[in-house]
Amino acid sequence: MEVSRAVWRKSTRSGSSGSCVEVADNLPNAIAVRDSKDRRGPVLSFTADQWTGFVQGIKGGTFNA
């Protein structure tokens, strides 16, 4: 996936530890996610529908331990 034009952002709730993920949702056919500590590392990509389902699952408590 080409991410050279990605605009990365991280949650304002991530705090100052730097241990979080960054998301780029400005790509034409994908939502990209990367580790904020390893910006040159691997990038995961999701379709818009997959990302929406994931976010809804988080908000709905699906992934609570």
**What are 7-59's pLDDT values in tens digits?**
999 877 776 666 788 999 999 999 999 998 898 999 999 999 999 999 999 99
| Alpha carbon distances (Å) from 63 to 14, 20, 22, 30 | 18, 17, 19, 22
Whole-angstrom distance, CA of residue 32 vs CA of residue 44:
6
Specify the residue for token string 């040159």.
40
Q: Domain spans of the chain?
A: 20-59
pLDDT score of 25: 93
Three-state DSSP class for residue 9? strand
pLDDT score of 62: 94
Whole-angstrom distance, CA of residue 37 vs CA of residue 63:
23
